[in-house]
Amino acid sequence: MDKVFSEYSRKGNSAKFEVIAMSCRRPEHQAPPEIFYDETEARKYTTNSRMIDIQVQMSERALELLGLPDDKLCLVADLGCGSGLSGEVIEEQGHMWIGVDISPAMLNIAREREVEGDLILGDLGEGLCFRAGVFDGAISVSALQWLCNADKNDHKPHIADERKKSSNMSSDQSKRDNNGSYLTLLSDSPMLIFQARGARAVFQFYPENSAQIELITAQSMKAGFSGGLVVDYPHSSKAKKFFLVLMTGGPQQLPKALGDAETAEVAKAKFTTKREKMRGLRQGKSVKGSKSWIMQKKERRRLQGKEVKADSKYSARKRPGHF
């Protein structure tokens, strides 16, 4: 599910994202999740090593953002657990989990793989089927975007015009009205993690466009959360990952995103002529091929989340000439 669905450009410091290209490869547009993830698709998902890698990486990052205490065993809800890939990461960190998913095929595979957590077939869009205040935290990997579509007759697409109307509603009312399915999930989560003050819920998701991001953050703020969006590697179109971090219990510092630095501006092609090169030098830019240039380039690629060799005293050292 790590297709680059849409590209965003960053506008100044306002951190607003604007869609410049959209692809029709988003699986949530093809069918509702319980239909899309049938036997073959679920099998594919769980045997594809690339998908597994990405899922595991994102689950690890989500758990990191969740910030559970290391020394205490916690109970984590995995919303949209699928075949239990993210659950296994929770197990590795020594916590317990209970997973909810809407695809029976995915859950059967999770059961086959003998994951430790217990599994429940449930619709996140209908609200969570848990008693209040039992979990220490919740994670959700690549599930939230599935809830932004109106798949059933009683789902009303939650469009911008309706937002005003729903903002006057209490979360309880909107649950009954089933007004935009993910809204129910977001207004339910504080109950879920109510027990531990300062507990968090982390949702990794693939937003479709800036309106969807705004809608999701607005709904979660309305439901009484603090928190916000953490965007890892915002300058890379491939490694960019969106994490919605919701927190209860007073204002807290939002965790820092990876690879976000103001210096990570994409450089243009430079120094084609000597004159431009000299002008660049005067402006304090480094010469192409020089040590400082190489160091800058490595830094830039690091910020994009790419694999870069560690710096050492040999980095960018001139090689002896062969002839």
Residues engaged in binding another protein (CB under 8 A):
34, 38-39, 72-75, 96, 98, 100, 102, 104-105, 107-108, 111, 118-123, 126-131, 134, 176, 195
* Residue placing its CB nearer to another protein in the complex, 101 or 208: 101
**Gap between the Cα atoms of 313 and 319, Å rounded:** 13
Which residues pair with residue 231 across a beta bridge?
A: 242
**How far apart are CB 247 and another protein at their closest, in Å?**
20
CB of 75 to another protein, least distance (A): 7
For another protein, give the closer residue by CB, 34 or 214. 34
Question: What's the DSSP call for residue 27?
Answer: G
Is residue 233 within 8 A of residue 302, CB to CB? The reply is: no
Amino acid making up residue 197: R
Least separation in angstroms between CB 317 and another protein: 52
Instruction: Give the end-to-end CA distance of the chain in Å, rounded to a whole number.
Output: 51
* Minimum CB distance to another protein, residue 233 (Å): 35
* Identity of the residue, 85 or 119, whose beta carbon is nearer to another protein in the bound complex: 119
Task: Identify which of residues 134 and 169 has a Cβ nearer to another protein in the complex.
Answer: 134
Residue 114 or 307 with smaller CB distance to another protein: 114
CB atoms within 10 A of CB 143: 26
- Residue 282, exposed/middle/buried by CB under 10 A (0-12, 13-18, 19+)? exposed
Cβ at position 165, least distance to another protein in Å: 20
55, two tokens: 């899922």
Calpha distance 148→152 (Å, rounded)? 12
